[in-house]
Amino acid sequence: MRIIPAIDIIDGKCVRLTQGDFGQMKVYREDPVDVALEFQEADIEYLHLVDLDGAKKGHVVNWKIIEDIQQRTALAVDFGGGVQSDDDVEILLDLGVNQINIGSLAIKEPEKFIYWLNKHGSENFILSADVKNENVMINGWLESANYRVIDLVDRFIGHGLEYVTCTDIGSDGMLNGPNLGLYKKIKARFPNLKINASGGISSVDDLKELQYLNLHGAIIGKAIYEGRFNLADLKKYNAY
């Protein structure tokens, strides 16, 4: 199972939200690039990078930070937040971004997402499902999409979808453990789907439980910044 630290960006800074609420934002570091470099120095291989400004505004905002992280680190970055156009996808892939998370657009313009899966390869994309009570939320977690997560995955699985990042909004930022029942349900329905769990992960026991479910990755955000994990611990976990 991949250990994937997260960097969320607002106003060019490294922040975390609680339960997806922009009103509950905490700034942890002024320079996300410095944080990415620290992950790399700790032999972390992966990074989940989110442009929250982009998610809220509906277009990628923090291009300079994306470019700097790509140029200055060798991290395998999966990026999300406001990707809406063919140009966005082309630029991100040209920059060397490993995978692109597609959230709101998959709901609003499913045919475009299918087109990208076919044109660029499904290995380059992750369906990003931000879930509240098993219902998908869009536009920076501000609106209900009136879609259950199972139904959303089912919409694309026949078009080659391989990867899903599922964030449980109720757990996100709470440091009370992930929503294991949610991931069990998705895995049972789609046993070959590569699922990244996000939200609430705060201990090695959480990681062991997710690994037991045979998930593809575990995205860790606030628990790193609040000192629940140190990077050396994550390196050790990644090794066994």
Percent of the chain's residues with pLDDT above 90: 77
CA distance linking residue 216 with residue 231, whole number of Å? 20
pLDDT one-digit tens code per residue, 89-139: 999 999 999 999 999 899 999 999 999 999 999 999 999 999 998 899 876
pTM score of the predicted model: 0.93
57: domain CATH number? 3.20.20.70
Helix (H) or strand (E) holding 210: helix 204-212
Instruction: Give the number of domains in the chain.
Output: 1
* Residue ranges making up the domain that contains 94: 2-239
Q: Note whether 171 and 200 are within 8 A (CB).
A: yes
User: Would you tell me how many other CB atoms lie within 10 Å of the CB of residue 105?
Assistant: 19
**20 close to 137: Cβ distance less than 8 angstroms:** yes
- pLDDT at residue number 133: 87
pLDDT in tens, 16-38: 777 666 777 788 999 999 999 99
The pLDDT value recorded for residue 172 is 76
Q: How far apart are the first and last CA of the chain?
A: 10
Nearest to 149, CA basis, from 203, 107, 192: 107
Cα–Cα–Cα angle for 140, 46, 202, nearest 5°?
A: 65
Rounded CA-CA distance 230/55 in Å is: 28
Question: Which active-site residues does the annotation give?
Answer: 8, 130
Q: Which residue has the higher pLDDT, 178 or 145?
A: 178
Phi, psi of 158 (to 5 degrees): -75, -10
Reported as a pLDDT band with limits 50, 70 and 90, residue 238 is low
